[in-house]
Structure 1
Amino acid sequence: MSRSLAYEPRYALNAICPYFTMFPLEYPLRVLRKHKVDSPVVMDPFCGRGTTLFAARALGLASRGIDSSPIAVAIARAKLCIVQPERAVRLARHYIENIEPVQLPESEFFRAAFTPAVLRAVCAIREGLLGATNGSDSAVLLRAAMLGCLHGPTNKTPGTQAYFSNQMPRTFSSKPDYSVRYWKSKGLKAPETNVVEVLRRKLMRLDESSPPSGVTPTRAVLGDSRSPSSLPVANRDFSVVVTSPPYYGMRTYVEDQWLRNWFLGGPDFVDYGKSEQLEHAGKDVFAKSLGLVWKNMASTKADSLDMYIRFGIIPSAKADAKALMLASLEESGVRWKMVHTRPAETAASGKRQADHMVAGSTAALEYDFHVRRI
């Protein structure tokens, strides 16, 4: 099996923050290489952690993205920023040295997840970034790096710690009560680590580079891709869409990232019912909800529109992914030509997922669709 692009140094920026259900970089790169000669603007209405945006950047193409998750948008924006690692490290040190945080969580989870020194440093950077008003590229990069380092597996080798927390998965935030029970049962303690040095190790792996001309982090937008208001006329310049909608049956994207959401200003506990993804109250409702996204994408002013969609279902949903996708396209009210449909690799294929504290499950079945606006 070929080595995943996720491990190549030139693609390190794309791996700045692992994200649950992320799709592999190979997919958007393969698609966009076919269109590169036309220099299209690329759109991803479910941009997640910005893999499509990064693929476009790697090929010198302009891109846009929309997502309803603030965690996703914070990570995606880093894929569109000017990369200057040393400035981001200096900014982190400045916050730690000059901010005495006023909000230090006191729950049992936070006391067990981080040492006092680490929690203070994390909170200082958190409050510094929350108070930042200039939206600098250094702040964008630091924010994404902090989200990536906030939790993950511990490393027993001194000087190589990559995460701030006690033992946790790196792609999602395990729930507080479960985490505390797990740590107690295993006798695990939060690692003594230097926040700035952890950040330095992550950031110094990145190539200093700039995105294509005219592309800035603000092109990744927090919004609802079903709504025309998320796509003002000035942004309707794209001719290629590459995206992967939320799995049918997956309803807790923000809740499953609750600790990262806290870092971005959310509550220091799991607040259910905050995900504003597609409606999941039945296949017909889901198809109609997704159809609104395709209708919105079809409003682009470009002469042509090709959409490449990787779509899957969680096994427990017991639905036909192909039939559901076709129903959503029909619900859009737009005339589409189906260019091809083929099985994709499973969501688990080729990934080194953190196996700590994760129950076994069957990977989702996914398909790749290419449709063209007629």
Structure 2
Amino acid sequence: MNMHPDLGYFDEGLDLIEPKLYRAAQRPFGRAEALPPAAFRSKIFADLEDEKVWTRNWICIGTQQEIPNAGDLLPFTIGHHGIHVERTKDGGLIGRFNKAQHGGCRSVPAQCQTGIKTKCSFTSCGYSRDRVAIDSSETGEGSQMGGQYLGDRPERLLPVKVDSLGPFIFVNLDPESKPLRAHFKGLAKPLGRAFDGDLRLVAQERREYDCNWKLAGRAFLENLALPFSDGQSTKPAKPASADKPAHTVQIHGLTTPQQKSARLCWLFPNLLLVLMPDHVLGVILQPTATTMTLERISLFVDESASDVDELTSSWMDTLDQCAAHGVARQQEFNAATKPPRKENCASGYDFQKFLVACILAEHDYYWSVPLFAQPGR
């Protein structure tokens, strides 16, 4: 049957799945309002995103280079669900829900119900912070990591759809979702550079910022001032002419003849890309609290790139400066008591349309419990 979970999603006097709440956000660009402040500060809205966004879309969780050998595991918490992707003996990928979803607890402790990912020795838990990729030597029989993630019979764990585009690994928790390439249909040509297998990974970092993940993504496309450009990096963008799970902006101000291929992109919901003539920067967004976002940053270069250390340092400084705009906007929403202002950013508008469509979509629910505990599994 078609229904939402029994208790619904209510906060700040709002029914967060009421279509009327989003009518102003769905107006044409230039007249549309931003989402209500609750969308950026409410734990209940974050729970709604877990149900409607994170468990219903293709989510980027990392790169191929992080798990090069058979048996290596890449853990990632999607909403409240702990999953991992394992490199198989034939070089392929297999995704599963973690064995210890609640760590060593019989139920979710109070300190883990605040919406903030906790620091816990059970990193497999859907309420704790993720650790880095796990080497196959750490998951052997009787090991702590093996017990948390794989258990004794990993073939019995609930499977997760997994696929990749170039170096980037994607998963989807919805067993009825369309294939990855069908989901991003039409984007292969403009984003071909990002999925080039000849690029070399030269740097990876994780940085955390005090803003909602949606604001971090918006600031990336609206406020990013590219290093090595002559000032204005992007021209004012227009919303996409069709409903696509992405927003792209062509980069200007470069002296190279390959400027036409340089662009910024937000692959909804959580992969940000900078495509440059000699390198690609990827930023994976992961909420660690309602108003905190972890950015998993990867820098890829081709053989023509020079002074990789300077390039890496420049990009990290640039991302810090960009995120400061998201933090400032978060502070505005935290203090907001007035109706939302106009959404005048094209990337923010396109993402807003995507998010509202996810929230208002109806799904078949068989039991109002987390996906990994559905009957028959």
TM-score between both structures, scaled by the size of structure 1: 0.22
TM-score between both structures, scaled by the size of structure 2: 0.22
Q: Hey, which of these two has a bigger chunk of helix by percent?
A: 1
